[in-house]
């Protein structure tokens, strides 16, 4: 019996022929490295002005924005933080938190977990310090996304 050489399909050989310079997908390890400098490669949209927003509406909006970031790690961190702290925040703290939520998700996560240096703009932020303290999870609690508030007509 003659041994047949192992044949590979072109799809398994493609990585061998694929040059890094032709790769259309960025290497995310570079962006998320602790040595990587923060850049403007992820442009932010300008915040929507809300000059006459009522405080309770702002709390509800910030609670929603804390839960629906698009990145699970930031969703978990900010939603659990918002559940604890937003109900007792002053108007000034709500404004600061609102401005912080305009920053890119990964940046908020890395600043909060001390994986990247905090930019000068946020160095003195009490709210970011509170989030960083919350991220340490010193009580070693198992965290999960908080439930949405139940309506009063729920059984």
Domain range summary for the chain, segments of one domain joined by +: 55-136
* Beta carbons of 89 and 109 less than 8 angstroms apart: no
- pLDDT at 71 (0 to 100): 87
CATH of 55-136, one of 3.40.1280.10, 3.40.920.10, 3.40.50.1860, 1.10.150.250: 1.10.150.250
- Rounded CA-CA distance 76/68 in Å is 9
- pLDDT at 61 (0 to 100): 94
pTM given for the model: 0.67
* Beta carbons of 128 and 100 less than 8 angstroms apart: yes
- Cβ atoms within 10 A of the Cβ of 59, count? 16
Query: Residues 8-54: pLDDT tens digits?
Result: 544 454 555 444 556 666 565 655 555 655 555 556 678 888 889 99
* Beta carbons of 85 and 120 less than 8 angstroms apart: no
């Amino acid at each position: 019996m003659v041994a047949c050489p192992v044949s590979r399909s072109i799809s398994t050989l493609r990585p061998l022929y694929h040059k890094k310079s032709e790769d259309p997908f960025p290497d995310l390890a570079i962006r998320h490295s602790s040595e990587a400098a923060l850049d403007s490669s992820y442009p932010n949209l300008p915040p929507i002005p809300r000059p006459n927003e009522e405080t309770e509406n702002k709390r509800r909006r910030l609670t929603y924005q804390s839960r629906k970031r698009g990145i699970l790690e930031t969703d978990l961190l900010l939603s659990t933080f918002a559940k604890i702290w937003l109900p007792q925040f002053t108007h000034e703290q709500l404004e600061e938190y609102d401005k912080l939520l305009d920053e890119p998700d990964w940046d908020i996560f890395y600043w909060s977990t001390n994986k990247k240096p905090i930019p000068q703009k946020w160095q003195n932020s009490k709210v970011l310090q509170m989030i960083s303290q919350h991220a340490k999870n010193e009580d070693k609690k198992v965290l999960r996304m908080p439930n949405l508030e139940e309506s009063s007509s729920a059984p």
